[in-house]
Amino acid sequence: MPLPDQSPADRIKAALQTRYGCDFPVAAAQPGLADLAVIAEHRSIRRYAAAPVDPELLRLLFACALSAPTKSDLQQADIIHVADPEIRRRIVATIPEMAWILDAPVFLVFCGNNRRIRRISQWRGKPFANEHLDHFMNAAVDAGIVMMNFIRAAEAAGLGTCPISAIRNAAAANSRELGLPEGVFPVAGLCVGYPSSPGHISPRLPLDVTVHTDRYDESRLQEQVDAYDRRRHAYHPYGKQRRTGSFGTADFYGWSEDKARQYAEPERADFGAYIRRQGFSLK
């Protein structure tokens, strides 16, 4: 967490040094430093104080989140506030390894919504001529942007958050719990509350890997990932190794080994079938 007497510029430098393992010059006169510091210091929060989130603040955050950019002004994102503890318990039962979700004061589900524009087309007597993969992607991207806008607004208000993509592990069952009709689908859940512990800044791949000029370049990818593995391990090593029954115990266990093990077995392989049942052809 930032020190009380740290300037926004110093907070940004410290956060990005942790995040990327290198120095970032920050001009003291740069406009928007307080906002940039909140963004640079982002961390996922999984432990929450018992304090509730005021309903008026939550409504304000919804309004800020839905002020996000939206493809062609189609506004294809919805937020479901799961206020009923029984519904939340049934959703969490589909992801029992994340029982801590029940401790969050607020649990939200961000959804892509292609249903509204289809219904509007019917009301206005117009054909819906965009039955293809892109119209699904537009709704999914809109929902993701709205969720990130909510996270940004929540952190500015002193709250912590943690996205829950595992809501899609049982997408059909959770859609029934939430009453999602055809054309609406869950993108991710989000836990929200006041942090009871500061969490930690998660190191990221270096910008040389993820930012490209003019053309995509992965000519040094393996050595860059290897260096990132070592840097991340030195700062915050994994507490346990994934799927040791299938892959044994590695002498060195870094980010790339963990992600390779994660994607070595099927994950949400039925999601495409679920999306088609929700009325998307994906053609």
Nearest to 50 by CA among 193, 197, 161: 193
Q: What is the pLDDT of residues 38-50, one digit of tens each?
A: 999 999 999 999 9
How far apart are the C-alpha atoms of 144 and 65, rounded to whole Å?
Answer: 10
What is the identity of the amino acid at 250? Answer: A
- pLDDT tens digit at each of 283 positions of the chain: 566 689 999 999 999 999 999 999 999 999 999 999 999 999 999 999 999 999 999 999 999 999 999 999 999 999 999 999 999 999 999 999 999 999 999 999 999 999 999 999 999 999 999 999 999 999 999 999 999 999 999 999 999 999 999 999 999 999 999 999 999 999 999 999 999 999 999 999 999 999 999 999 999 999 999 999 999 999 999 999 999 999 999 999 999 999 999 999 999 999 999 999 999 999 9
Paired tokens of 62: 């919804």
For 259, what's the count of Cα atoms within 13 Å in the CB-facing half-sphere? Answer: 5
**Structural contact between residues 39 and 24, judged by C-beta atoms closer than 8 angstroms:** no
**Structural contact between residues 32 and 53, judged by C-beta atoms closer than 8 angstroms:** no
Full-model pTM:
0.95
Phi, psi of 210 (to 5 degrees): -110, -10
> CATH 3.40.109.10: does it fit domain 55-199?
yes
Query: How do the residues of the chain divide into helix, strand and coil, expressed in percent and rounded to 5?
Result: 50, 10, 40
How far apart are the C-alpha atoms of 66 and 60, rounded to whole Å?
Answer: 10
How far apart are the C-alpha atoms of 59 and 56, rounded to whole Å?
Answer: 5
How far apart are the C-alpha atoms of 4 and 45, rounded to whole Å?
Answer: 20
Q: Where are the domains of the chain?
A: 13-40, 55-199
Phi, psi of 25 (to 5 degrees): -70, 135
